[in-house]
């Protein structure tokens, strides 16, 4: 999925304007399957079945475009947010970036829209179906994230994975301390909520955010936080979860990653990433 997200975020054009031609369908080839998974996750187990029945019932011998699909989805879900989700997902450019911060009684989520690999300003909040998984309960909690910033109440012991099974077309990024805990869990098998598969998803999302210079960095970042980033990046670079450009940029001392020479990546790409510059400065001052 991260490859499809990378393609979508290279353009600032709307994905599709209507379902009328073969070319329209081809343009959104990667997206329909995961849309129905998200629709079901956010609006109920029966919504896809109801929508399919309505579509066949009303348009079996006709042509249903975006407007008709929107209306049928709202009718099937009995929720206008489902129609809003459909319109945003297929007709608006960009991909949602979800930032995660833990709170004692839940998780704080913030959303941004990334268009052409950059944060888009003045965009409305997206409807994002998500799952939250903790060690406290076996079943993931299903939520609809519809605001720019929202806190979701959740009992946890300091470990929450957002979108653990990659059911949502979005990039999820955590704070440095959370990444360190997640990686430690994956390496020690100490947490039921983190395994090698979802740690790979977490690492892929991190690498995409990191290489596009979207990790939040500022001049006032405390030294102890930079230290956590530095250690996490070093440890992650040694795992099989990352390779190529990402691994090279995580640790300047790497000479090669999966047959990718790191020297040229470092000069051409890594040195321009704000987090790399911040961490490298910290490392140089603490040799």
H or E, element range at 250: helix 245-250
Could you tell me the pLDDT band of residue 7, with boundaries at 50, 70 and 90?
low
Range 152-170 average pLDDT: 92
Residue 97 lies in a domain: no
**Residue-level pLDDT at 229:** 97
* Model confidence at 29: pLDDT above 80: no
pLDDT at position 90: 84
Residue bearing tokens 């930032």: 99
Whether 241 shows a pLDDT value over 60: the answer reads yes
| Residue 127, in any domain of the structure | no
Alpha helices in 212-261 (DSSP H): 223-237, 245-250
Helix (H, G, I), strand (E, B) or coil at 142: strand
Rg (CA), the chain: 20
E strand or H helix at 175, and its extent? none
Q: In this structure, is residue 112 part of a structural domain?
A: no
| pLDDT, average across residues 107-112 | 97
CA angle 135, 140, 142 (to 5 degrees): 140
Q: How does residue 158 score in pLDDT terms, banded at 50, 70 and 90?
A: confident
- On the question of pLDDT at 260 being above 80, the answer is no
Residue 36 lies in domain: 1-91
Q: What is the pLDDT of residue 201?
A: 96
Give the least confident one: 21-30, 78-87, 176-185, 236-245.
Answer: 21-30
How many structural domains compose the chain? 1
Lowest mean pLDDT among 59-63, 105-109, 270-274: 59-63
Residues 164, 172: Cα–Cα separation, whole Å: 10
Inside any domain, residue 146? no
pLDDT of 30: 62
CA-CA distance, 33 to 146, in Å (whole number)?
A: 22
Q: Average pLDDT in the 171-178 region?
A: 96
Percent of the chain at pLDDT exceeding 70 = 89
Residue 134: which of 98, 173, 105 has the closest Cα?
A: 105
Residue 134 maps to a domain? no
Q: Which residue has the higher pLDDT, 12 or 152?
A: 152
Instruction: Please give the pLDDT value at position 132.
Output: 96
69 falls within a domain: yes
Output the pLDDT for position 214.
97
Phi/psi-derived region of residue 270, left when phi > 0, alpha when psi is between -120 and 50, beta in every other case: alpha
Q: Around 175, how many Cα atoms within 13 Å sit in the side-chain half-sphere? A: 16
- Alpha-carbon distance of 223 to 236, in angstroms, equals 20
pLDDT in tens, 50-102: 999 999 999 988 888 889 999 999 999 999 999 999 999 988 888 999 999 99
Residue 1 pLDDT level (bands cut at 50, 70, 90):
low
Q: What is the pTM of this model?
A: 0.90
Measure the N-to-C terminal CA separation of the chain; round to a whole number of Å: 39
Least confident of 5-19, 152-166, 184-198: 5-19
CA 226-240-262 angle, to 5 degrees, is 65
What average pLDDT does the structure give for the chain?
Answer: 88
Is 131 part of a structural domain of the chain?
Answer: no
Sign of CA dihedral 264, 267, 268, 271: positive
Q: What is the mean pLDDT of residues 170-181?
A: 96
In a domain, 44, yes or no: yes
């Amino acid at each position: 999925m991260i490859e499809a997200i990378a393609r979508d975020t290279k353009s600032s054009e709307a994905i599709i304007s209507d379902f009328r031609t073969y070319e329209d369908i081809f343009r959104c080839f990667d997206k329909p399957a995961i849309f129905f998974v998200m629709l079901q996750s956010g609006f109920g187990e029966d919504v896809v079945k109801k929508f399919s029945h309505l579509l066949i019932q009303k348009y079996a011998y006709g042509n249903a475009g975006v407007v008709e699909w929107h209306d049928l989805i709202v009718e099937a879900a009995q929720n206008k947010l489902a129609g809003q989700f459909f319109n945003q997902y297929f007709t608006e450019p960009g991909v949602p970036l979800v930032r995660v911060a833990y709170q004692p009684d839940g998780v704080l989520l913030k959303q941004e829209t990334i268009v052409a690999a950059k944060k888009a300003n003045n965009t409305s909040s997206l409807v994002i179906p998500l799952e939250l998984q903790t060690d406290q309960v076996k079943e993931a909690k299903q939520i609809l994230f519809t605001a720019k910033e929202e806190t979701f109440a959740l009992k946890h012991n300091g470990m929450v994975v957002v979108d653990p099974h990659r059911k949502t077309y979005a990039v999820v990024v955590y704070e440095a301390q959370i990444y360190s805990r997640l990686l430690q869990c994956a390496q020690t098998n100490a947490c039921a909520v983190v395994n090698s598969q979802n740690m790979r998803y977490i690492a892929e999302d991190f690498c995409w955010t990191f290489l596009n210079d979207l990790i939040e960095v500022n001049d006032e970042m405390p030294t102890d936080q930079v230290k956590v980033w530095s250690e996490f990046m070093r440890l992650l670079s040694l795992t099989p979860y990352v390779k190529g450009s990402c691994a090279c940029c995580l640790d300047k001392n790497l000479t090669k990653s999966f047959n990718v020479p790191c020297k040229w990546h470092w000069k051409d790409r890594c040195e321009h990433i704000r987090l790399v510059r911040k961490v490298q400065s910290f490392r140089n001052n603490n040799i």
